[in-house]
Amino acid sequence: MTERQVRRNEALRDSWFDAAHQILATEGYGGLKLAPLCKRLGVTTGSFYHSFDNWQDFTDSLLANWLRERTELLAEIARQDPDPIKRLQLLISNVVAFNHRAEAAIRVWAGVDDKVGAIQRKVDEGRYAAALEALEALVGPDLAPGFAVWGLSTAVGYELLSDAHPPERLQWALGRLLENVEAAAKR
């Protein structure tokens, strides 16, 4: 496969993942099926099998992509800034921009599928670790875990409430957390 073909296939796979996140956000994990996915993209199942071997390959790839794009890559980008406040601000702005209804649907799915649950735990652990690393640089190892749990709990709680509240509320809540972190860092 040429480099161009690889890029084109990656872009096609990304379109499948985007459509899956839209379905998760609107219909929950129970609505994530091949026919609605193909309909949303306006393609046949043949197109699906051009990108994935089978449904399990698709769901495994979807979850691996979610872990990579929404946790690991975000943490890597944040680590590039030496200023821990700026790292936290970057993490917060990205968390606020997540598709929270899709995130909540994946969390529900994780409750009934052990494989999904294992990925969900990796996501939570990765997000916690990314926040903890920046927080330890500001408030030390004694206070940082509490602030990291506070932030993660706020984000997870918002996922479950996101259909009734705009993302500005999450931004506000995480902003108050950051203010408390900055105050603790000055002590």
Burial annotation 105-127 (CB, 10 A radius, 16+ → b, else e): bbbbbbeebeebeebbeebbebb
CATH code where residue 123 lies: 1.10.357.10
* Per-residue model confidence (pLDDT) at position 3: 60
Output the pTM of the full model: 0.91
* Per-residue model confidence (pLDDT) at position 187: 86
Contact in structure between 16 and 93 (CB atoms under 8 Å): no
Please report whether residue 11 resides in a domain: no
Please report whether residue 26 resides in a domain: no
Please report whether residue 36 resides in a domain: no
The residue segments making up the domain with residue 123 are 54-186
176, with CB counted inside 10 A (0-12, 13-18, 19+), is exposed
User: How many folded domains does the chain comprise?
Assistant: 1
Please report whether residue 29 resides in a domain: no
Phi, psi of 163 (to 5 degrees): -75, -15
Going by the DSSP 8-state scheme, the letter that residue 115 receives in this structure is H
Q: pLDDT of 51-90, one tens digit each?
A: 899 999 999 999 999 999 999 999 999 999 999 999 999 9
Q: pLDDT of 79-130, one tens digit each?
A: 999 999 999 999 999 999 999 999 999 999 999 999 999 999 999 999 999 9
